[in-house]
Amino acid sequence: MLKSELRTLVRQYKRQFTQQQLCGLSLPIIDRIKPLLREAHTIVAYYSLADEVDTHRFIDELLAAGKTVYLPRVVSAEEMVLCRYTGADSLRQGAYGIMEPIGEPMPADESIDVILVPGMAFDAQGHRLGRGKGYYDRFLGSLSQPCPQLIGVCFDFQKVEIVPTEPCDVSVDVVI
């Protein structure tokens, strides 16, 4: 199956659920992530769109628990950078309708423990299909060693047998 075909298929799956149903389906997934972040100090998350596993409340919980949280901000047609999340009132709508922090960019010497990576589909080997712009592949590919733990986050219906990949696709360590 082509990447584009798999994206179309996953979009069809998603349309079978209301946004409220997707929010409900998100809760057990977030509960599965929580124990994996217990030891983490610095976490890169994503601020979910309506059709993604809902992270909004969870991100505030991480902040309240004393974690340092960064979110992506799209700065060009190719690049996203990370900016510190300090609360929902510091978010502004950015490219693709995604809410982005207006806070400080992540310092170059910051050490990230965990990255929550959204995806359109994942397979059991951690292969990931994104939305097709390559933002995450470029960002994850640019990370220096030691690499943070990469956790792929998706609804169960987004877990597929085989995700088609190319050499520049970055895989995740675990799919939740």
Considering CB under 6 A, how many residues would be counted as binding ligand ATP? 14
Q: Considering beta carbons, is residue 58 or 136 the nearer one to ligand ATP?
A: 136
Q: CA torsion, points 169, 170, 171, 173, in degrees to nearest 10?
A: 180
Q: Considering beta carbons, is residue 14 or 133 the nearer one to ligand ATP?
A: 133
User: Which among 62, 51, 53 is positioned nearest to 28, based on CA atoms?
Assistant: 53
User: Do 44 and 71 form a contact (C-beta atoms < 8 A)?
Assistant: yes
Q: Considering beta carbons, is residue 89 or 161 the nearer one to ligand ATP?
A: 161
138 binds, among Mg ion, ligand ATP, none (CB under 5 to 8 A by kind): ligand ATP
Instruction: List binders of ligand ATP among 61-90 (CB under 6 A).
Output: none
Helix or strand holding residue 83 (H, E): strand 80-84
Each residue 120-149 as x (binds ligand ATP by CB under 6 A) or -, in order, gives ---------xxxxxxxxxx--x--------
Q: Considering beta carbons, is residue 112 or 140 the nearer one to ligand ATP?
A: 140
135 binds, among ligand ATP, Mg ion, none (CB under 5 to 8 A by kind): ligand ATP
Min dist. Cβ of residue 101 to Mg ion (A): 24
CA dist 156 → 12, 25, 52, 79 (Å): 14, 9, 12, 29
Min dist. Cβ of residue 99 to ligand ATP (A): 17
Binding site for Mg ion (CB under 5 A): 137, 169
